[in-house]
Amino acid sequence: MQHELTNLPPLTALRTFEAAARHCSFKQAAGELCVTQAAVSRQIRQLEERLGVNLFLRSHRRVDLTEQGRQLFQTVNRSLVDIATTTREIQSDSSLNYLNLYATSSFSRLWLVPRLSQLRRAHPEIHLHLISVEESPAMADKFDAGITLGLEDNAGYQSDFLFSEKVFPVCTPAFIEANPAACTLEGLMQQPLLELDAKFWNAKWWSAVDWPFWLDQQGLGAKAVTAEMSFSHFPMLLDAVLQDVGVGLGWCHLVQNLLDEGQLIRPVRESYSAPGRKHYFVCRNDLVDKPEIKLLRRWLLEQTAIFRTEELI
């Protein structure tokens, strides 16, 4: 074990790499770490030289992880999350009792964070420690509670079904005004299409939902369509849609707020419903009767009831 630890890369470089990989941006990583972009680039380069591989594919406007970079990110991200969790638990000697809640980055940023003020007003006694991850947490890790994609068979946890997935195209009102042909399926196929890259789905339970798959579900067969751009994370894709770059596939639970606010619209009414692709709230059995867990569970079920109701229509 001592020999293995002496082979560790510099921890500062690993921390810098994790931030750059999570943001897919050296600039945003520099902002998070309060250092210069040049310092981030230098740390990444030193780490690549230490490992003897390229961790990023660099282009003019963005960086993407290589396969080796993706493997390292998954391990470093998980390790840093565990360190942060343990540190918080050790330091938490105040009267506040934090509840560790794991959720994917997309669900955290696009669904949960916009509702945190509402949760705070309804239940000020709940003090969340929100932990954003790139894949569903493993129940073997004995986490407190989480929102999972799919469900492991584990007797140590209680689960509650929240919703299944529903996927449909989304764009901005300005985009559809400039491209009215996108209001039909055939016309939609002529527009700049945005989608998640194949590596995004590697950490998921299910197969990819990309444009060829979605169009096939609409009875159009395996159409030979090529996405204009691909993205490593759904929030990035959604940002591009909001900037009128093109049309993206949107997951109902992640885009409903933007639809309600009028920032996004559905250019066509067709959608893909997947009752088998289920999301759950899970928590450890020994925490089920904890007051904060009971309140959070009830609040989550109330907030997602609309998605369960839509499945019955």
Q: What CATH number has the domain bearing residue 172?
A: 3.40.190.290
Number of domains in the chain: 2
Do 55 and 107 share a domain, yes or no? no
pLDDT at 1: 43
87 belongs to a structural domain: no
pTM: 0.66
Say what the pLDDT of residue 259 is. 96
Percent of the chain with pLDDT over 90: 54
Query: Is the pLDDT reported for residue 293 higher than 50?
Result: yes
pLDDT in tens, 122-180: 999 888 888 887 777 666 566 789 998 888 777 888 999 999 999 999 999 999 999 99
Q: In the prediction, which pLDDT does 123 show?
A: 92
Let me know whether 141 and 277 are in one domain: yes
User: Greater confidence, 261 or 81?
Assistant: 261
pLDDT band for position 5 (50/70/90)? low
DSSP SS3 for 188: helix
Same domain, 198 and 265: yes
Computed from CA positions of residues 61, 67, 68, 74, in that sequence, does the dihedral angle turn out positive or negative?
positive
DSSP letter string, 33-89: HTS-HHHHHHHHHHHHHHHTS--EEE-SS-EEE-HHHHHHHHHHHHHHHHHHHHHHH
Same structural domain, 63 and 108: no
d(CA 172, CA 282): 35
> Which domain CATH number covers 43?
1.10.10.10
- Taking alpha carbons only, the member of 82, 14, 78 closest to residue 47 is 14
pLDDT tier, 311 (very low <50, low <70, confident <90, very high otherwise)? low
The answer to whether 152 and 234 are in contact (CB under 8 A) is: no
Cα separation, 271 vs 259, in Å, equals: 15
The answer to whether 167 and 252 are in contact (CB under 8 A) is yes
User: Where is pLDDT greater, at 250 or 274?
Assistant: 250
pLDDT at position 139: 61
Please indicate, yes or no, whether residues 133 and 19 belong to a single structural domain of this protein: no
Q: Which of 54-63, 133-142, 292-301 has the highest mean pLDDT?
A: 292-301
Q: Are residues 218 and 109 in the same domain?
A: yes
66 pLDDT band, cuts 50/70/90, is very high
Which residue would you say has higher pLDDT here, 172 or 27?
A: 172
Residues 271 and 123 in one domain: yes
CA–chain centroid gap for 120, Å, is 22
User: Is residue 9 one of the residues assigned to a domain?
Assistant: yes
- Give the confidence band of 87 by pLDDT, cuts at 50, 70, 90: confident
| pLDDT value of residue 116 | 93
CB under 8 Å to 46, separation ≥6 — which residues? Answer: 10, 13
Predicted confidence band at 313 (pLDDT cuts at 50, 70, 90)? very low
| Amino acid 95: pLDDT | 47
Summarize pLDDT for 182-215 with one digit per residue, the tens: 999 999 999 999 998 877 776 566 778 889 999 9
Cα–Cα distance for residue pair 158/280, rounded to 1 Å: 10
Residues 28 and 160 in one domain: no
Residue-range definition of the domain harbouring residue 58: 2-75
In-domain check, residue 86: no
Give the chain's mean pLDDT.
87
Structure tokens belonging to residue 280: 């759950």
Q: Are residues 158 and 217 in the same domain?
A: yes
